[in-house]
Every structure is written in C-alpha cells, then in structure tokens.
C-alpha cells in the first residue's frame, strides 16, 4: 500500500504523533476539525445536533450529482422528506419485502452454483456482491429484476458520482482541466444514463392502474402531512438515487469485507456454518427468523467495526461552542472519523483483530457507549439500517451454507478511500460447492 496517498494512514499517523483523538487544521481561510472522540461525536450527532448541519461538501457538491434527497439536504426540507419517507422503512414494510429479498439471493446463489458446476471457480466477490445488492435494492424499489446492462449502468454511475464529487472537493482548481479533457463529460454521461433509467420506471409506474406494493409505490403515494400533495418526479428521482447510492454501495462493501475476513479465520467460518445449518429459512422468512442468526449478526457487526463502509461523516458548525474543553468555531467543517473510532485502542481490546465475540450477548454490554456507529447516530441515523442488516444476514447465511471459499493468492488488501471504502483491486476468490 502506498501510504503517502492513503488518507486513513495519514490521519492515523497524525493522531498517533500528537497523541490526540481530535485535531484542528487551518486550510486557507477555512477551519477544519477531525475527531474520533466518542463523546464529541455523540454531542455533534445527537446531543446538540441542531448546531451541526451536513457540510457544503454534501449539500452543494454531492447533491449536484446525487440530487437533493434525505442524504444531501438540511433543515426543514430534510425533516419534511425524512418524515415522508420514513414509513417505507418501518419494520412492517421491511418484513413485507423479505420474501422478495430472499428470492433474489437464492436466484443469485443458484447462478453462482451453476457456474461452479460448469467448472468456473474463480470469482471477484466484490463484483458478485455488487450484482447481488443491486438486484435486491432494485427488487425492493421496482418489484422487478434488472438486466446485466442496467446493473452496469448503476455500477458505473455510482462510481462516477463518487469520483467526480471527490475530485471537486480535493482539487476544485482543476475543474477547468477536467472539462477540457472530457473527464467531466464522461462522468456526467454515466450519471445521465442512471437518471434516464430511473425516470422511465417512475413514468411507467405513474400510469400503472394496479401498482405493486414496493418502495416506488410508497414514494408515489406518500403525501406531505396535512395535505394531498405528493412528490414531483424530480423529488422521487432524487430520493431513489440516494437509496441506490447509500443502499447498494455500502452494503456491497460491507459484505465483501465480511467474506474477506471470514476467509482468513477458519474458526469463525466453522461457527457460522454450524449456526446456519441449525436454522431452516423457508421461502418466506420473518424478521424473527433472520434475527435468530445471532452469530451471523456478530460477524457482520465486527466486520463493519473494522471496515465501516462510511469511514467518516461530515458536519458544519452553525455557532461557536465548547464540547468539554474542545472549542468549535462557527463555520468549522468537522470530519467524524468512524474508522478511527472503531479501531481505537482506548476503547477496543486488540482493536485491529477480527473477533465477532465482542458482539455476543454476554460481551456487547462491555462495549463503550458511542464507539460503534456503522449506520451513524441521532436523527440522521441511516433510514435503511434495518433493511441492510436483514439483507446482509441473509446473504452471508446463504453464502457460507452453499460455498467454500478462499482468496486467490497472492493478494494484498488495499483500500480505495472515496466517500465509502472498498477493496481497491476487487476480492478474487476461488469457490467450490459445500455438497
């Protein structure tokens, strides 16, 4: 790994050198802060969240490409949208989507099995998990299966969205060069294909006299409180795009890192297989069935501790205030460093080791408050967290039940740190059938 270009390495080195959990930087006229202190993070996300908004990096730069949805807006508009959309992710609604989710997973597993039977054993797990999660979120949204071409459109579009946003933030002065070189145009072309694809689904559904009960119908039928007014096509497009960006990319990465870690720890794989063998999931599983996979949930939690898909969160202070002795200035942009918090030796024993037992019933009460926040915290806690947990439990359970898997060596994990983190060079594995 080239440490000089890895922001996680550089941040960790700074925190270690100055023996601190929080530091401030002056970048030109702008003041910046980074923290992995759980009390400071909890104060910003929950205790005094009204003093901290999503920064302009999100509300201006990211929203330019991802739209003005609940991930990229602040204030009254965000609250109005959150209240409108929240019912679609309540427990009862998620339960109604589980059978479709399970059916997609089984179909995808059957496809992998068919390839193995034909003698194909080498797979890029990152690519397989991308296809899996895209199909799942598409089924939940549109009640339909998507084609290989549509998968590529979504995959390329979300990757372009991350690339273009990051480059604008890191090198705003090169925007002219990006336009001249055609790089900007190529990225925007990828995104335009997503917009057209989703818009076609919206228009088709608006004219459907008997729409299915999925997330798309929920978005179309939702009405603002006390009115008969629903969302415009543009608002629905923005919210769906956010669901794709936040819902597939993060879950894909979490599952890929999870399978990577399990492949390196045979005793964990053995315990997983033992649990899965003892629980029968029928074609219409309940949340109770899936949450019964206790050890599976522990493995996923520990994986997200080590590799949180959202490795940092950002906020911008509205007014000056002190959090303990920490002075925060109005307008200061704050990076809440989830990756560092999850691996801090101050709160976790052997923080870099993979140990799912940390999250067992008998041990999880010992976890220090506010030190594990893979889905965020406070009013802006990820709206799809329950959906993602169900999805990951089901995928991992079915995968370890059906396949044996090992890394294709030589392999060295290098992190691609954009808005999310993912393995930079994919995850090549050799798969075989368990039976």
CATH of the domain at 112: 1.10.630.10
CB 342 within 8 A of CB 305: yes
What is the spatial distance between Cα 71 and Cα 78, in angstroms, rounded to a whole number? 8
Give 387's pLDDT tier (boundaries 50, 70, 90). Answer: very high
CA neighbor of 126 nearest in space, from 101, 99, 98, 159: 159
Range of the domain at 52: 3-433
Task: Using DSSP, state whether 250 is helix, strand or coil.
Answer: helix
Task: Identify the three-state secondary structure at position 242.
Answer: helix
| Number of domains composing the chain | 1
Quote the pTM value: 0.93
Which segment of 96-105, 184-193, 305-314, 396-405 scores lowest on mean pLDDT?
184-193
pLDDT band at 145 (very low <50, low <70, confident <90, very high): confident
Q: Tens of pLDDT along 365-381? A: 999 999 999 999 999 99
Q: Tell me what pLDDT residue 171 has.
A: 62
Quote the pLDDT of residue 285.
87
Interatomic CA distance for residues 317 and 43, integer angstroms: 12
Q: Is the CB of residue 285 less than 8 Å from the CB of residue 99? A: yes
């Amino acid at each position: 790994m080239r440490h000089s270009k890895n922001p996680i390495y550089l941040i960790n080195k700074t925190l270690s050198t100055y023996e601190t959990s929080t530091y401030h930087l002056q970048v030109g006229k702008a003041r910046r802060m980074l923290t992995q202190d759980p009390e400071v993070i909890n104060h910003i996300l929950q205790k005094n969240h009204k003093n901290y908004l999503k920064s302009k990096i999100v509300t201006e730069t990211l929203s330019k490409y991802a739209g003005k949805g609940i991930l990229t807006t602040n204030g009254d508009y965000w609250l109005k949208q959150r209240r409108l959309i929240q019912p679609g992710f309540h427990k009862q609604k998620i339960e109604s989507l589980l059978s479709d989710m399970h059916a997609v997973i089984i179909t995808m597993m059957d496809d992998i099995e068919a390839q193995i039977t034909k003698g194909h054993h080498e797979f890029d797990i990152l690519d397989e998990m991308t296809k899996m999660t895209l199909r799942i979120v598409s089924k939940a949204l549109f009640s339909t299966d998507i084609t290989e071409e549509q998968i590529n459109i979504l995959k390329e579009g979300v990757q372009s969205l991350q690339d273009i946003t990051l480059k604008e933030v890191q090198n705003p002065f090169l925007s002219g060069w990006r336009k001249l070189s055609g790089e900007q145009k190529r990225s925007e072309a990828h995104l335009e294909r997503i917009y057209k694809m989703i818009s076609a689904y919206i228009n088709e559904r608006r004219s459907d006299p008997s729409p299915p009960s999925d997330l798309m119908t929920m978005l179309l039928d939702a009405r603002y409180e006390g009115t008969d007014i629903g969302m415009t096509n543009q608002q629905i497009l923005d919210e769906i795009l956010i669901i794709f960006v936040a819902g597939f990319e993060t879950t894909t990465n979490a599952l890929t890192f999870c399978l990577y870690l399990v492949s390196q720890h045979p005793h964990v794989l053995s315990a997983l297989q033992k649990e899965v063998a003892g629980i029968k999931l029928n074609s219409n599983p309940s949340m109770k069935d899936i949450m019964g996979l206790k050890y599976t949930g522990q493995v996923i939690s520990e994986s997200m501790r080590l590799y949180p898909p959202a490795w940092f969160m950002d906020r911008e202070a509205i007014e000056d205030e002190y959090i303990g002795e920490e002075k925060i200035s109005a307008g200061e942009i704050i990076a809440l460093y989830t990756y560092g918090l999850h691996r801090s030796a101050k709160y976790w024993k052997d923080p870099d080791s993979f140990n799912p037992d940390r999250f067992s019933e008998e041990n999880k009460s010992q976890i220090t408050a506010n030190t594990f926040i893979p889905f965020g915290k406070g009013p802006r806690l990820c709206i799809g967290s329950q959906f993602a947990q169900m999805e990951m439990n089901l995928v991992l359970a079915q995968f370890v039940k059906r396949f044996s898997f090992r890394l294709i060596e030589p392999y060295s994990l290098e992190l691609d740190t954009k808005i999310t983190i993912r393995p930079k060079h994919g995850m090549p594995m050799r798969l075989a059938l368990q039976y």
